[in-house]
Structures are given as C-alpha cells and as structure tokens.
Structure 1
Amino acid sequence: MSEIETRFLAPPAATGIRLDLTGAVTRRAGAIVPLLAVIVAWEAASRSGIVTPFLLPPISAVLGRVWEDAISGELALNLGQTLFRSLAGFAIAGAGGVALGILMARRRWVRWFFDPIVSVGFPMPKIAFLPIFMLWLGLYDVSKISMAVFNAIFPVITATIAAAEGVDRPLLWSARSLGASERQLLREIILPAALPQILTGLQVALPISMIVMIVTEMMMGGQGLGGAMIAASRFADSPGVFAGIVEIAVAGLCLVKGIALLRGRLLAWHQETQEPTTV
C-alpha cells in the first residue's frame, strides 16, 4: 500500500473508533441519568417536607440502612436465602420446562396430554395457589422453591415449544435422509436452532422466579429479603422497608444482567451476536 493510500484510509478508521466510543458512552449515560434523576428527586422530596420521612425516608438514610445491614451480616444472610431459593426454583423450572417443551413438540401424545394443562395454567395468576402450597408443603424452603418452579416453568415450556416447532423442516428432512437418529437430530439440529428462543424463555422465567420468591417470603415469613421487609413493616421501620426495596432492585438487576451475559456467551456463534445492538 502506498503512502498516499495510507493517509486516506487511516483517518476514517480512527473516526469510526471515536464514534463507537462516543456511542457507548452515550448509551451508558442514557441508562444512568434517569436513575440519578429519580435519586435526586427522592432525596429532595423527602428533605423538603412535601412528604414526611416516615412515608418517604431520604435515600441517604435508606442507603445508610443498607450499609448497616451489610456490616451486620443480615444482608448477606437474607440475600443468600432469597437467591438460593430463586435460583433453585429457576434451575428446576428451566430444566423441566425445556425437557417438557421438547417432548410436547416432538411427541403427539405428550402434546395431547399436557397442552390443555399449559393452556389453562400459563395465563392464570398462579400466586393464588400459595395457600395450597402452604397447606401441603409447610412454610419452609420446599414450599417456597415449589412456588417458584410452578410460576416460572410455563414461559419456558411455551418458548421451547415455539422454538422446537420453528426449526426449518428441510434441515430435519436432510438429516433424516443422511441416517441421523432422533437423538442426533435433537443434539445437532433442534437444540442449536431453538437455543435463542429457549434462552428468551429463560430470561423471562428468571425474574418471575425472583418476584414470586419475594412475595412468598412475605407471606410465609422467615429469613430472606421478603421476610425482612415484612418484618420491618410490622415494626413501622420505614427505612428498613425501603432498604429492602433497594436491595431487591439491585439483586434483580444483577440477575437480569447476568443471564443476558450468559446468553451472549452461549450464542457467540449466532447471528444476533454478530450484529451491532441498538439497545
């Protein structure tokens, strides 16, 4: 390459890098600025006397309470209990939902039996079964994890069915003509092709598991973020209640970001990771 060509080609590359960096910074700022605005408005409203500190304690006092919980070890204990139950329920729902969804898509008799159950169970408010789970399984981890599984499994099943049925038929026909067995079809074609949509169902199921676990802990009591919040409300501990909200929000955000990162790793080969994102 001549010196003249180098001079003409180098500046656009540098400009492109600067534009990418500027876009990344802009997106980050766009995500942080609204949160900062809410925090500032919260502190100003509480300090101004528009609302009493009991109804809306200052964010500084709430963060101070979070720090106290962290130093005392109470935050680690409650957060650990909630995350353990939520992730256990999510893992069971994910494994069971993917397996059942694949079977419903590949076996007519399985579809015939479970389709009415899924069709009725998916749209209904399954948290209404909480008293039944309390009667049947008690007030401890088994009933709480079972509630998370019961609520989180339906979006995984429906996403897996849609993904497995959406695999290109010519691919399956070609593999069969080459002598592929049912297990090879599943491992080599169906699961890789269906993986993006299955992961979408899992991304929906994870926050559902977390939400249901918080509500379940509030109703059943005991250790956990939900139990700590309801205990604080019984003693009119307003900073403790809002500290629980902040802790739940941060934990939920970390879970959502974590599964999004896992999706990017698992789909490194897929077209969606090769295209520039606009989010």
Structure 2
Amino acid sequence: MTRSASPSLPAARTTGRTAPGPDAPVAGIWRGVYRRLTGDAMIQILVIAVLLIGWETVTRLGLVHPFLLPRLSAVLERIFNNMLAGKVFTDLGLTLYRAATGFLIGTAIAIPLGVLMARNTAVRWFFDPLISIGFPMPKISFLPIFILWFGIFDTSKIVMIAFSCFFPVVSATYSGTLGVDKWVIWSARSFGATPNQVLREVVLPMALPQILTGIQIAVPVGLITTVVTEMLMGGPGIGGSMIAAGRFADSVGVFAGIVEIALLGAVVVKGVERLRAYLLRWHHEARH
C-alpha cells in the first residue's frame, strides 16, 4: 500500500508545481510587453520605420526635388529648433486646446440628445430629420456662417469643431441606446427600478461601447477640423503655421507641421483607445 504525501510537505512539492515567487508579477508584466512588441505594435513600428527610411533615402539620392519633398533630417532639425524656441509647444497647445474644447462641447450636447431621441418619440421626431440631413454634409462649409456669427477669433473655430464632432457622437449614442435589449429593461423594471435607475444602471452601460465608438470617430474628426480651420483662418496654431510657411515657399516648415500633427494625432488616438479599454474593462470585448 502506498503512503500518502505528508501534510507537512509544501503545496508546491505535493502538486509538482513551483510556487510563485515575489518576482512573478514583474515577469508577467515583461511577458505582456514582449507579446506587444512582437505583435501588432512591432509591425506598426516597422512599417513607419520603413516609410521614414525610404523618405530620407529618396531625398538624399536626389530622386525628388527638395522643394517638393525636403529631407526628413531637415524636417526633424526644424522641429528641434522650433522646440528650443518654444514655438512647437505654443502651436500644439493652441491646437489641442481648440480641439479638446470643441470636442467636449459637442460631446456634452450630443450624448444627452442621443439618449433623449432614443427614449422620447417627440424629440426623435424633431431632431432625426435635422441630423439625417446634417450628418453627410461637409461641415467645413458652415465656417463662413460661424465667422459671421462669432467673429474671426477662437470662438468661431471652437464652434466649428464642436459642430463637426456632434454628429458622429449623437448618431452613435442614438443607435446604442435604441439597441439596448428591451427584455433587460423590462426585467429591471420588474425588480422595482425607477426610470432614472434604469437609465443610469442599465441603458447607459449597455450603450457605452457604441457611444465610445462614436467618440473614437469624433476625436480625429475634431483634430482634422481644427487644423483645416486654422489653415483657413490663419493665426497661431499648427494649421496657421503650416499655411504661413506655405506662403513663404518654406516646404520644410510645411512638412514639419505635418509631422507634428501626425505625432499629436497618434498620441490622442492611442489615449482614447486606452480610455475605452479602461471604461469597458467589465465588457466582453476586454477579454479579446
């Protein structure tokens, strides 16, 4: 007859496994970093690196006229000099301020209106035709009207950005709220939940993934609108600096602005993706 393992033996010996040491959480973090570096993130980095190397190589070989496509090294040198002078931070700060302010105003109006449209027939009857007509329209065509109404300074730019961000968010909010399963709402009501509790604890959480999708669409739309508005109206900001450089045939300055807005856009979009992952950490999409 075989003897059973002594109760005094460690659990690691009786199960044949090694007990996790104090460095296990650190090892888990490094494994996550390794998986990211060898996955999609590494592919994206390699694609961007190949593009930048190709840019520098083509210009150094003289295959493209420097005025049409300046060297990447010259563009980076211009950005570095502008950073030392503080110009980059001023332009980026103003552009980001306008984009963020307009986005927040548009989102603050769009989300409540989208919920009301999904839950109130009269509100939906009034606003649905307006949104259906306004969504596909080029929003920048309203800029002369906003300049006429709000002047030539930041107010008209921010209103233009808010107007552009409004439509994708209100449409996503309306669709997400309307698509909430009615059985879940009826179940919550049967347990005595008030209308406010149903909205706060059932409808909004279930509609949140689609609302965040609308926000993810509105963020780059807001950045694009900001730069275009600055280019059309002039003044400080990335768009204004780019159009000023173009007027003086300064192609290096134009491409410096393109690189700066590309970096800003990448940081902002990745930040929104992180925010979505945090807010939906309870959702099934977080497990994929």
1:54-83: per-residue Cα shift (whole Å, max 9, x none)?
A: 111100000010111111011111111100
The one-letter amino acid of 2:37's match is: V
Q: CA deviation at 1:139?
A: 1.3
Q: Equivalent of 2:272, from 237, 259, 263?
A: 259
Larger RCO (CA under 8 A, 6+ residues apart): 1
Alignment partner of 1:181 is 2:194? yes
Quote the offset at 1:21 in angstroms: 6.0
AA partner of residue 130 (structure 2): I
Task: Please say if 1:163 is aligned against 2:176.
Answer: yes
1:99 corresponds in structure 2 to: 112
Match of 1:142 in 2: 155
Matches within 5 A, 1:1-279: 3=13, 6=16, 23-27=35-39, 28-273=41-286, 275-276=287-288
Matched residues in 2 for 1:21 and 1:179: separation? Answer: 46
- Taking the aligned partners of 2:32 and 2:268, their CA distance within structure 1 comes to 27
In 1, Cα distance between equivalents of 2:34 and 2:131: 47
Tell me the number of residue pairs that the alignment of Structure 1 and Structure 2 aligns: 271
Displacement of 1:20 after TM fit? 6.1
Structure 1 pair 8–76 and aligned structure 2 pair: CA distance change class (3 A): closer
Distance 1:44 1:139, change over 3 A: same
Query: Can you list the C-alpha shifts for 1:236-258, whole angstroms capped at 9, x where unaligned?
Result: 11110000000000000010011
Mind listing any 5+ residue stretches in structure 2 that lack a counterpart?
1-10, 21-27
Question: Gaps (5+ residues) in structure 1?
Answer: 11-16
| Shift in CA distance, 166/36, structure 1 to aligned 2, threshold 3 Å | same
Alignment partner of 2:16: what SS?
Answer: helix
**Contact map agreement 2:12 2:19 (CA 8 A) in 1:** no
Displacement, 1:204? 0.6
More helix by share: 1
List per-residue Cα deviations over 1:69-112 (Å, max 9, x = no partner): 11101111111110000000111111111010000000000000
* Percent identity between the two aligned chains: 51
The separation in 1 between residues aligned to 2:36 and 2:82, in whole angstroms, is 35
- Output the TM-score relative to the length of structure 1: 0.91
CA-based RMSD of the aligned residues comes to 2.0
- C-alpha contact 2:161 2:225 (8 A) present in aligned 1: yes
Q: Deviations over 1:200-221 (max 9, x none)?
A: 1111101100100100000000
After TM superposition, the score normalised by the length of structure 2 is 0.89
